[in-house]
Amino acid sequence: MKGKPGWKDIPRGGMILEAGNAATYHTGDWRSQRPVWDPEACTHCLFCWIYCPDSAVRVVEGRMTGIDLDYCKGCGICVNQCPKAGALKMVPEDTAAAG
């Protein structure tokens, strides 16, 4: 809790005074595992994009380009529904971070 402002320096009653600040709140830090994408194996069927509950699959011009780790909570739905073995797999966060 150190480094955060004290009670005298925060808005009253939990108010958030800055509009649109959700963009700076990265829910991806909840993650214990992350999906790792293999561009070589991917067929760009975009099932992962359709199913992702957090819109964390990045698609550019109809093609999968990777996972937005700022918002991916590591639920694994993308990996679960991916029809191409090996195109997406779940890896523990510490392993992935080390790798």
Partner 1 sequence: MTQVQAGVSQGRRVALTGNEAVALAMKQVEPDVVAAYPITPQTDIVQYFSSFVADGQVRTEFMTVESEHSALSACVGASAAGARCMTATSANGLALMWEVLYIAAGLRLPIVMAVVNRALSGPINIHCDHSDSMGARDSGWIQLYSEDAQEAYDNLLQAVRIAEHPEVLLPVMVCLDGFIISHSLENLEVLPDEQVRAFVGTYRPDVWLLDAARPVTMGPLDLQDFYFEHKRQEAEAMARAVPVIEEVAAEFGRATGRRYGFFEAYRMDDAEVAVLALNSTAGTARYVVDRLRRRGVRAGLLKLRVFRPFPQRALADALEGLAALAVMDRAEGLSTAGGPVFVEVRSALYDRARRPLTMNHIYGLGGRDVGPDQIEKVFDDLLQAVECGEVRRPVSHLGVRE
Using CB under 8 A as the criterion, which residues of the chain lie in contact with partner 1 when the complex forms?
A: 1, 4-7, 10-17, 19
CA geometry: angle at 65 spanning 77 and 95, to 5°?
A: 60
Q: How far is the CB of 19 from partner 1 (least distance, A)?
A: 4
Q: How far is the CB of 9 from partner 1 (least distance, A)?
A: 9
- The total of other beta-carbon atoms located within 10 Å of residue 85's CB is 8
Nearer to partner 1 by Cβ, of 11 and 39: the residue is 11
Q: How far is the CB of 36 from partner 1 (least distance, A)?
A: 30
71: closest CA among 37, 22, 38? Answer: 22
